[in-house]
Amino acid sequence: MNASDRTPADLLRSALTADPARPLVTFYDDATGERVELSVATFANWVSKTANLLQDGLSAEPGERVSLLLPAHWQTAVWLLACASVGVVADLGGDPAAADHVVAGPDRLDEGLACTGSRLALSLAPLGRRFPAAPAGYEDYAVEVPSQGDRFVPYAPVDPDAPALVVAGTELTGAQLVERAREDAARRGLKSGARLLSGLEWDGWEGVSAGLYAPLAVDASVVLCRHLDRLSPEGLAQRVESERVTDTAR
C-alpha cells in the first residue's frame, strides 16, 4: 500500500510492486466445486488484458459506463479493476439500457440486451471457459480477451476525482473508493498479509469492499466464496484452516 494511491488501479500497481507472487484472490464456488487462486501478478495480467479489450476492442473512453451484470466472482473483480484502469465507470448491477457497454453473466443475458452499445458475455464456468457458441447479441469474453496485450497504458491519465464505481445506486470517485476501502480495512482490523474470507454478495458496498477493495488497500488477500451457504459448518471450518483465514465477512 502506498499513501499516495488515489485510484483502485493505483492500489493494484502498488501491490504488484510490493509482492507480485503473493495470493490476492482465492475464489471458491460451492455450487460447482471450483477453486481458483490468483497471485497479484496473475490477477494484474487479467486486468491488463481486460483493460486493453475495453480501451481498444470496445473503444471505451473515460467517463463511459459499463453495466456489470455479474455476481461476486473473481472475473467480476478483474472487470472492476480493468474499468478503473481505463477510467470508465463500473456500474455493478446497473441498468444496461443506460450504459455504454454491458458485461453479463449467463443468467442475465436477456437483461443485458437492453444495452445498445457493445456487449460481452461471461460464462463464469470453471477455468474461465468459453461458451459453446457466443450468445446471440454478444461477444464471448473468453474468446476475445486472450489475444489482448499483457501490458496496459491508458490513453489518458485516470482522474481520481472522476466517478469510478456505482454500487446499489451510490456513486464513488476513485479517491472516495480508496478512502472508504482503507477505512473498512481499519475497521475490520485488516493488516498486511491478512486473509479475509468473504461470502457476502456484491449487491452493496459492504460486499464488494470485503470481497476486493479493503484487502487490496492494505496488501491483504481475500478468499472469495460464492454459494457459501451450501458448505457445511465442518467444511467451512476446514476451509478457514486450510486457507489460513484470519478474518471473515459473512
Query: What is the number of domains present in the chain?
Result: 1
Residue 124: name the closest of 57, 59, 79, 167 by CA: 79
Q: What is the pLDDT of residue 3?
A: 77
* Segment 11-40 mean pLDDT: 97
Identify whether the C-beta of residue 102 lies closer than 8 Å to the C-beta of residue 137.
Answer: no
**Of all residues in the chain, what percent carry a pLDDT higher than 70?**
100
Mean pLDDT over all residues of the chain?
97
pTM (predicted TM-score): 0.97
- The answer to whether residue 3 is domain-embedded is no
Summarised one tens digit per residue, pLDDT across range 28-43 is 999 999 999 999 999 9
Whether residue 65 contacts residue 89, with contact meaning beta carbons closer than 8 Å, is answered with: yes
Kindly report the CATH number assigned to the domain that includes residue 50.
Answer: 3.40.50.12780
- pLDDT per residue over 197-207, tens digit each? 999 999 999 99
Residue 234's domain comprises: 8-249
Mean pLDDT in residue range 9-27:
97
Q: Assign 1 a pLDDT band (cuts: 50, 70, 90).
A: low
Strand partners, 25: 38, 222
Q: Is the pLDDT of residue 210 over 80?
A: yes
In a domain, 206, yes or no: yes
Is 62:156 a contact under the CB 8 Å cutoff? yes
Instruction: Return all residues near 192 (Cβ < 8 A) that are at least 6 apart.
Output: 1, 218, 219, 220
**pLDDT, average across residues 4-30:** 97
Ranges of beta strands (E only) in 131-180 are: 139-140, 163-167, 170-173
